[in-house]
């Protein structure tokens, strides 16, 4: 589910929303940090600053999802999206995946608005990415037909580590992480397929892959083996990256 075997061109074709979001992350980061024309103005109007939101600038509930504070921040948030987003985009389709991702980010930022002080400001896609984890955790407990045991173990392990790191690290929007996760878990049951479809990849043809959970379960490991351990370690490194600001 999280193992990427596509080449660059195939990835762009199969996962257009994930690809678009990652591109926007880097375009905005370069635009702002290299002081390209209008870059500072973009930063000023897009940062999630609670006081300005309270004054009616409601677009700031959305725009922080696309901004990042540093190169390591944008790199690891984008890498997390590339790692955990494609399976959900293919499972849900482009529109429903966007609803899950943006909806989780909005829940995170709305919670931040109400629970943090007026001078609190924030940027980053972490709340939206935690929403993907929320959707996966919902599958682990309530839709076992959509995720197998090995991937469930990976998700649970990464989530536990992510929670610990959220509360132990500095300069982290903990409320955004928590409520992004909750938002994803709440939105997921309304978007997930009602029954098992298919999820198999065929690179011999130009057609897009179909979704075949049963085929996936035959390919993925059935126990907590070296492959699962590898992805858990990789997930830990990702978390260290996008939680560091």
Please identify every residue annotated as catalytic.
126, 177
Q: What three-state secondary structure class fits 109?
A: helix
b/e 45-69 (16+ beta carbons within 10 angstroms → b): ebbbbbebbeeeeeebbebbbbbbb
Q: How far apart are alpha carbons 242 and 79 in whole angstroms?
A: 9
Residue carrying the six token digits 């560091």: 244
Residue pair 239/162 in contact by the 8 Å Cβ criterion: yes
Query: How far is CA 87 from its chain centroid?
Result: 11
DSSP string, 159-197: HHHHHHHHHHSSS--HHHHHHHHHHHHHHHHHHS-SS--
């Amino acid at each position: 589910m999280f193992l990427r075997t596509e080449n660059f061109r195939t990835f762009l074709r199969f996962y257009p929303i994930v690809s678009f979001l990652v591109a926007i992350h880097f375009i905005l980061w370069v635009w702002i940090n290299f002081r390209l024309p209008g870059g500072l103005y973009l930063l000023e109007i897009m940062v999630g600053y609670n006081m300005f939101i309270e004054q009616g600038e409601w677009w700031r509930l959305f725009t922080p999802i696309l901004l990042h504070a540093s190169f390591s921040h944008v790199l690891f948030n984008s890498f997390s999206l590339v790692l955990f987003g494609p399976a959900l985009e293919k499972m849900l389709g482009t529109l429903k995946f966007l609803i899950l991702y943006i909806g989780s980010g909005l829940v995170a930022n709305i919670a931040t608005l109400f629970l943090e002080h007026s001078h609190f400001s924030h940027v980053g896609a972490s709340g939206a990415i935690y929403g993907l984890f929320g959707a996966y955790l919902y599958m682990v407990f309530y839709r076992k037909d959509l995720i197998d045991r090995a991937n469930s173990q990976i998700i649970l392990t990464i989530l536990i580590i992510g929670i610990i790191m959220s509360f132990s690290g500095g300069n982290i929007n903990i409320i955004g992480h928590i409520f992004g996760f909750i938002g994803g878990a709440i939105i997921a049951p309304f978007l997930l397929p009602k029954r098992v479809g298919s999820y198999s990849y065929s690179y011999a043809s130009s057609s897009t892959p179909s979704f075949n959970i049963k085929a996936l379960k035959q390919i993925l490991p059935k126990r907590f083996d070296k492959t699962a351990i590898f992805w858990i370690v990789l997930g830990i490194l990702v978390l260290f990256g996008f939680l560091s600001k």
